């Protein structure tokens, strides 16, 4: 499905707000599909755009909390491998349905793990929602290892294109997993680095949007 893919292997540990901002900045500046892997400065929690800050605070403890631009539930970060996938609106990949892109990325993750000898399956039947925690609620095309959900993602589609933010919670990821995952998505992978343009835009977004109390409380405020 992807002819070429730019891949960003983050070596730093940005704050939660800056991580969300970098994903948006990447989408704004993407000329073709791009995949970004990233770490966290400290244990963090992200919750979906339509979620409630109070629910996040109830389980977040002393974690750094941030609202995602994408949907979905509560995700704890720090022990997971986190990634984002962006596709500019003009690229043919962005014309695929949200479900097709979700399945494409999760099939790539599953194939790498199965090749490494792990038993991993893709969810085919929706289950009842049991909590606000993303990894407690497998949906169609999520990945399972036994009874445990190990990979989930959330998406947002705008005039700029598609953003998918995903989390992989699996303690025994193979060595070089990220590179293998990228190569499963596309046979033509180009390693990239975050540019000064990306970083400056992200710093602005973090300061004016993702790092603000107004953003954390936005959905609650707008519903009153």
Tokens 């986190």 belong to which residue? 82
pLDDT of residue 138: 87
- Cα–Cα dist 27/32, whole Å: 9
Q: For residue 57, give the nearest of 68, 46, 72 by alpha carbon.
A: 46
Q: Would you call 28 a catalytic residue per the annotation?
A: no
Report pTM.
Answer: 0.92
* Residues above pLDDT 70, as percent of the chain: 93
pLDDT of residue 10: 81
pLDDT of residue 75: 97
Please identify which of the residues 53, 65, 74, 134 carries the catalytic annotation.
134
Summarize the confidence of residues 22-33 as an average pLDDT.
97
pLDDT of residue 203: 98
Count Cβ atoms within 10 A of the Cβ of residue 59 and give its class: 0-12 exposed, 13-18 middle, 19 or more buried. Answer: middle
- Cα–Cα dist 115/126, whole Å: 26
For residue 175, pLDDT over 60 is answered with yes
Instruction: Tell me whether strands 34-38 and 5-9 are parallel, antiparallel or unpaired.
Output: parallel
For residue 191, pLDDT over 80 is answered with yes
Please give the backbone phi and psi of residue 117, each rounded to the nearest 5 degrees, phi first.
100, 5
Quote the mean pLDDT of the chain: 93
pLDDT band at 129 (very low <50, low <70, confident <90, very high): low
Q: Are 78 and 42 in contact (CB under 8 A)?
A: yes
Q: Are 33 and 87 in contact (CB under 8 A)?
A: yes
Q: Are 158 and 88 in contact (CB under 8 A)?
A: no
Helix (H, G, I), strand (E, B) or coil at 32: coil
Summarize the confidence of residues 153-164 as an average pLDDT.
97
pLDDT of residue 171: 86
Strand partners, 154: 165
* Residues 43-88 pLDDT 10s: 999 999 999 999 999 999 999 999 999 999 999 999 999 999 999 9
pLDDT band at 222 (very low <50, low <70, confident <90, very high): very low
Question: Strand locations in 22-180, DSSP E?
Answer: 34-38, 44-47, 64-67, 75-77, 81-88, 121-122, 143-145, 148-158, 161-168
- Cα–Cα dist 172/206, whole Å: 32
pLDDT band at 224 (very low <50, low <70, confident <90, very high): very low
- Share in percent of the chain as helix, strand, coil (round to 5): 35, 25, 35
């Amino acid at each position: 499905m992807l002819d070429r893919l730019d891949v960003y292997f983050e070596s730093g540990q940005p704050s939660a707000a800056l991580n969300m901002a970098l994903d948006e900045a990447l989408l704004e500046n993407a000329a073709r599909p791009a995949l970004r892997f990233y770490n966290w400065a400290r244990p963090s929690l992200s919750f979906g755009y339509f979620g409630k800050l109070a629910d996040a605070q109830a389980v977040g403890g002393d974690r750094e909390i941030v609202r995602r631009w994408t949907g979905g539930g509560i995700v704890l970060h720090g022990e997971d491998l986190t990634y984002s996938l962006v596709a500019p609106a003009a690229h043919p990949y962005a014309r695929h349905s949200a479900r097709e892109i979700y399945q494409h990325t999760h099939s790539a993750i599953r194939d790498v793990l199965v090749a490494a000898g792990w038993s991993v399956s893709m969810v085919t039947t929706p289950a009842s929602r049991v909590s606000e925690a993303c990894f407690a609620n497998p949906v169609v095309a999520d990945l399972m290892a036994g009874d445990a959900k190990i990979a989930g993602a959330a998406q947002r589609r705008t005039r700029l294109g598609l953003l998918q933010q995903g989390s992989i919670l699996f303690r025994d990821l193979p060595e070089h997993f990220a590179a293998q995952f990228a190569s499963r998505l596309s046979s033509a992978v180009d390693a990239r680095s975050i540019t000064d343009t990306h970083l400056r835009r992200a710093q602005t977004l973090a300061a004016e949007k993702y790092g603000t109390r107004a953003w954390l409380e936005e959905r609650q405020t707008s519903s009153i």
